[in-house]
Amino acid sequence: MANFKVNGQDKTLDIEPDMPLLWALRDELGLTGTKFGCGIAACGACTVHINGIAVRSCITPVSAIEGQEITTIEGLASAAAGSKTSSYEPINPTLTAVQQAWIDHQVPQCGYCQSGMIMAVSSLLAQNPNPSDEDIDSSITNVCRCGSYPRVRRAIRSLATA
């Protein structure tokens, strides 16, 4: 049995302890906003927050998250409602400031990697509201095959200087 909290709700799943969190979220809980990309934690499409920290869920076994707080893209706005960091606060009931910046700066192209990218950026800005370019480069290692990196940086900069 795996016991943890997802998007503010307690969950108990009868699954193997070595099941990756990604598959528990997608297959067991129906939270399909977290994407499978590479399966080796290289691309970041599977990024979720564990206790507010960005983590690649494809290599994180559910046994490692026992009793932890998991936030997925589906729960980001409601999780952000309790945050004290301005760039992380929801600007309306369904979007955080990061998500709105994504829209304002037309970040996504195909959009497949964007939930993981938004989760990584949200975690970075919650920990460091005004990151340097070096901070961004070292923290946001998600892969975007469409190459939207300049727009990602502009979106982050708009929040950091807000």
The ranges assigned to domains in the chain are 2-74, 76-160
Yes or no: say if 131 and 160 are a contact pair by the CB < 8 Å rule. Answer: yes
Confidence of residue 79 (pLDDT cuts 50, 70, 90): confident
Q: What is the pLDDT of residue 126?
A: 93
Q: What is the pLDDT of residue 85?
A: 45
- Over residues 98-143, the pLDDT tens digits come to 999 999 999 998 989 999 999 999 999 999 999 999 999 999 999 9
Tell whether the model's pLDDT for residue 78 goes beyond 50: yes
Which H or E run contains 115?
helix 114-127
Mean of pLDDT values over 154-162: 87
Q: Where are the beta strands (DSSP E) in the chain?
A: 2-6, 9-13, 47-50, 53-56, 69-71, 90-92, 95-96
Q: Would 2-74 and 76-160 be classified into the same CATH topology?
A: no
- Pairing relation of β-strands 90-92 and 53-56? unpaired
Looking at domain 76-160, its CATH class is mainly alpha
Confidence of residue 83 (pLDDT cuts 50, 70, 90): low
d(CA 117, CA 101): 12
Q: What is the pLDDT of residue 82?
A: 60
Query: Model's pTM, two decimal places?
Result: 0.90
Q: What is the pLDDT of residue 88?
A: 47
Give me the CATH topology for the region 2-74: Ubiquitin-like (UB roll) (3.10.20)
Q: What is the pLDDT of residue 92?
A: 57
d(CA 133, CA 36): 27
Q: What is the pLDDT of residue 94?
A: 73
Tell whether the model's pLDDT for residue 81 goes beyond 90: no
